[in-house]
Amino acid sequence: MRRTSSGFTLIEIMIAIAIIGILSAMALPAYQEYVRRAACEDAKGTVTGAASFMERFRAQNNTYANAGAAVGMPNRSPVSGAQQYNIAVVSTADTYTITANPIPGTSAGTAISLDNTGNRVGAAWTCP
């Protein structure tokens, strides 16, 4: 009488592990690029939203001064979740500059800035 065994051989398990390793090696860089691009896009949206806040503040108060300290101005990106960028505002009575600086050690890209004339500074505005 012959006994049949069910299960996987060591070779079959090693082949499955090798396939999973190859797929992971291809997927991980693509995922990391997606996360970096998403953080960049979120920072752009936060900076643009902060610029809208500055313009509303100017319309109500006839100055940009002290608008950065006003309640409602975002100081991080994303607003909830793992922080990728610090948002800083430098303002005078007639001008402002909003800068998103990446936090070291995160997947965030480069710093981006937007001023009261609409000038965009930083390579991250293209978020490749």
- Chain segment 66-110, per-residue pLDDT in tens: 776 666 677 888 877 788 888 888 888 899 999 888 888 776 677
0.85 surpassed by pTM = no
Mean pLDDT for the stretch of residues 5-15 = 88
Say what the pLDDT of residue 103 is.
85
Mean pLDDT for the stretch of residues 5-34 = 90
Whether 123 shows a pLDDT value over 80: the answer reads: no
**What would the DSSP string read from start to end of the chain?**
-PPP--S--HHHHHHHHHHHHHHHHHHHHHHHHHHHHHHHHHHHHHHHHHHHHHHHHHHHHS--TTGGGSTT---EESSSSS--EEEEEEE-SS-EEEEEEEPTTSS----EEEETT--EESGGGG--
Say what the pLDDT of residue 32 is.
84
**What are the tens digits of pLDDT across the range 20-63?**
999 999 999 888 888 888 888 888 888 888 888 888 889 998 98
Largest CA distance in the chain: 96
Structure tokens belonging to residue 13 = 């398990």
**CA-CA distance, 94 to 18, in Å (whole number)?**
62
**CA-CA distance, 34 to 31, in Å (whole number)?**
5
